[in-house]
């Protein structure tokens, strides 16, 4: 069974380590926060000017002046700090954020990523994504392995306008966990429960590297 969005978020949460400062993008990455084990102490950065995103507010605590980068109402926690957008991106550009998790429309086998525009059809804008991918030490991409039409989104080369070059290390999809190799290629690390290596091969247009037995993901 391919994973749903929550499954992807749960698997990504396993990549989080104690003490990390983390930037979560919009969509599936935002869900990751719900599955980080309580035992880990991590600080979530919101690029609109907050370190230390707390949980969603109760109805009584909703504050229009306190939102995350996805424009959702949020709260702060002990140790939270507020700042302006230039300071926020100084943190990002300066390499102070340990882990960046973001979505993608396409990823290429050498780690290029596209996620901001479909020419003539749709323009979301890059927001903070280009800054994040250009400077992050560790980038994990959360995405569907294929489009709704069944076409692979893990390609030899991206067909859509690029967000950043050779920056993605790890990709977690509804079908697999993959690592981008230095010389190019997606190394298959794990399969979603019940998904076969053949199914992943069929869904991957770029070079897929399969070595030995590929374990299933362990997801609660």
Partner 1 sequence: MINKVVKNANEAVKDIADNSVLMLGGFGLCGIPENSIQALLESKVKNLTCISNNAGVDDFGIGLLLKTHQVRKMISSYVGENAEFERQLLSGELEVELIPQGTLAERVRAGGAGIPAFYTPAGFGTEVAEGKETREFDGKMYLLEKGLVADFALVKAWKGDTAGNLIFKGTARNFNPMMAAAGKITIAEVEELVPAGELAPNEIHTPGIYVQRIFEGKNYEKRIEQRTVRS
x/- map, 172-191, partner 1, by CB under 8 A? --------------------
- Name 150's bridge partners: none
- Of the residues 6, 17, 34, 84, which one makes contact with partner 1 according to CB under 8 A: 84
Rg (CA), the chain: 17
If residue 117 lies in a helix (H) or strand (E), which one and from where to where? strand 117-118
- What's the rounded Cα separation, in Å, for the pair 202 and 169? 21
- Of the residues 66, 176, 177, 178, which one makes contact with partner 1 according to CB under 8 A: 66
The values of phi and psi at residue 67, to 5°, are: -130, 165
Nearest residue to 176 (alpha-carbon basis) of 209, 151, 149 = 209
- What's the rounded Cα separation, in Å, for the pair 53 and 56? 9
- Of the residues 18, 38, 39, 71, which one makes contact with partner 1 according to CB under 8 A: 71
- Of the residues 16, 50, 97, 154, which one makes contact with partner 1 according to CB under 8 A: 50
Residue 138 sits in the site that holds partner 1 (CB under 8 A): no
- What's the rounded Cα separation, in Å, for the pair 98 and 109? 23
- Of the residues 6, 40, 41, 63, which one makes contact with partner 1 according to CB under 8 A: 63
In the residue annotation, 179 being an active-site residue is answered as no
Number of chain positions touching partner 1 (CB under 8 A):
54
Which of these ranges, 33-41, 101-109, 157-165, 201-209, lies near partner 1 under the rule CB under 8 A?
157-165
Residue 23 sits in the site that holds partner 1 (CB under 8 A): no
Smallest distance, partner 1 to C-beta of residue 112, A: 8
- Of the residues 15, 20, 21, 89, which one makes contact with partner 1 according to CB under 8 A: 89
Smallest distance, partner 1 to C-beta of residue 158, A: 11
- What's the rounded Cα separation, in Å, for the pair 31 and 7? 10
CA distances from 143 to 65, 103, 168, 201 (A): 30, 6, 12, 16
- What's the rounded Cα separation, in Å, for the pair 119 and 146? 19
Question: Interaction with partner 1 in 110-129: which residues (CB under 8 A)?
Answer: 112, 116, 120-129
Give per-residue burial for 29-40: e unless 16+ CB within 10 Å, then b.
bbbbbebbeeee
Residue 155 sits in the site that holds partner 1 (CB under 8 A): no
What residue ranges bind partner 1 (CB under 8 A)?
46-50, 55-59, 62-74, 82-86, 88-90, 92-93, 112, 116, 120-131, 134-135, 161-165
Q: Which residues are known to be catalytic? A: 47
């Amino acid at each position: 069974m391919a994973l749903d969005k929550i499954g992807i978020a749960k698997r990504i949460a396993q990549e989080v380590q104690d003490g990390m400062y983390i930037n979560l993008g919009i969509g599936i990455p935002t869900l990751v926060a719900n599955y980080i084990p309580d035992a880990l102490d991590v600080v979530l950065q919101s690029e609109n000017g907050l370190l230390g995103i707390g949980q969603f507010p109760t109805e009584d605590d909703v504050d229009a002046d306190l939102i995350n980068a996805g424009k959702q109402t949020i709260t702060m926690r002990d140790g939270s700090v507020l700042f302006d957008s230039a300071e926020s991106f100084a943190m990002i550009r300066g390499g102070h954020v340990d882990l960046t998790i973001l979505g993608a429309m396409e990823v290429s086998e050498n780690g290029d990523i596209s996620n901001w525009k479909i020419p003539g059809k749709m323009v979301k804008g890059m927001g903070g994504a280009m800054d994040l991918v250009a400077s992050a030490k560790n980038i994990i991409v959360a995405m569907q392995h294929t489009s709704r039409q069944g076409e692979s989104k893990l390609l030899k080369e991206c067909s859509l306008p690029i967000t950043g070059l050779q920056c993605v290390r790890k990709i977690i999809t509804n079908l697999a966990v993959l690592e981008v190799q230095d010389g190019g290629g997606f190394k298959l690390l794990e399969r979603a429960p019940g998904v076969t290596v053949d199914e992943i091969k069929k869904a991957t247009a770029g070079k897929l590297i399969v070595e030995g037995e590929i374990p299933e993901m362990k997801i609660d």
